Amino acid sequence: MKIRDRASEKSKAEDLKHINAAINGDQDAFAWLMKKYKGPLNNLIYKMVSEKSEIEDLVQEVFIKAFNSLKNYNQEYAFSTWIYRIAINNTIDYLRKKKLDTFSIDSDDDDEEDKPKFEIPDTTYSADANIILEQRQQIINDAIESLPEKYRKIIELRHKEELSYEEISEILNLPIGTVKAHLFRARELLNKYLKDKLKFL
């Protein structure tokens, strides 16, 4: 077994030890888990949320949800994957409610030359640039909201959180091929929705 694999197994064993202790009411054990994962969760949520002032509250929400659901945690899977999934879902809900900054639906992958694309013209020199940009962002947000859940979540994971196909596959428990197929279909739907709506802005 490689050194990296041994370290991973040791980390998982330590997690399980503290998880089981926390389930049995050991608050120090859960505090240990919080200390271990606070930094990684901060980094994960920081990639998704622009306001630094909100990150600490979001991390606390994740730990609260994790603590309340700890008995339902499937110990066959890594605790990190489980708590990251809680963090991502919680942050997506937050972003949806706040309707924060949007993101590009176009990937920079070299192997996706046939993917649907759309471009937003530069409005830098327009006197109403900010208003127009806000309108465009709102339209794109609405387009994403209109997607079926399975497509919307993959778009958000891929382009908002910038996760790899492998990470998305693990989080959503889907084959990588399905992730790519859903992503392609989601972009098609967004392109169709946005084609006419952005034309006049």
Lowest mean pLDDT segment, chosen from 73-82, 159-168, 171-180: 159-168
Q: What is the CA radius of gyration of the chain?
A: 20
Task: Indicate if the pLDDT at residue 131 is higher than 60.
Answer: no
- The C-alpha atoms of residue 46 and residue 58 are separated, in whole angstroms, by 10
Task: Indicate if the pLDDT at residue 107 is higher than 60.
Answer: no
Burial 17-26, CB ≥16 within 10 A → b, else e: ebbebbeeee
Average pLDDT along the chain: 77
User: Where exactly are the structural domains of the chain?
Assistant: 3-98, 101-201
**CATH for the stretch 3-98:** 1.10.1740.10
Predicted pLDDT at 119:
41
Alpha-carbon distances of 96 from 1, 33, 92, 182, rounded to whole Å: 43, 28, 6, 20
Same fold, 3-98 and 101-201: no
Predicted pLDDT at 136:
66
- % of the chain surpassing 70 pLDDT: 72
pLDDT digits 0-9 by tens, 44-99 = 888 888 677 888 889 999 999 999 899 888 888 889 889 988 998 888 888 877 75
The mean pLDDT value for 21-41 works out to 91
Predicted pLDDT at 196:
61
Determine whether domain 101-201 maps to CATH 1.10.10.10.
yes
Token readout for 164 is: 């790899």
pLDDT band with cut points at 50, 70 and 90 for residue 117 = very low
pLDDT band with cut points at 50, 70 and 90 for residue 18 = very high
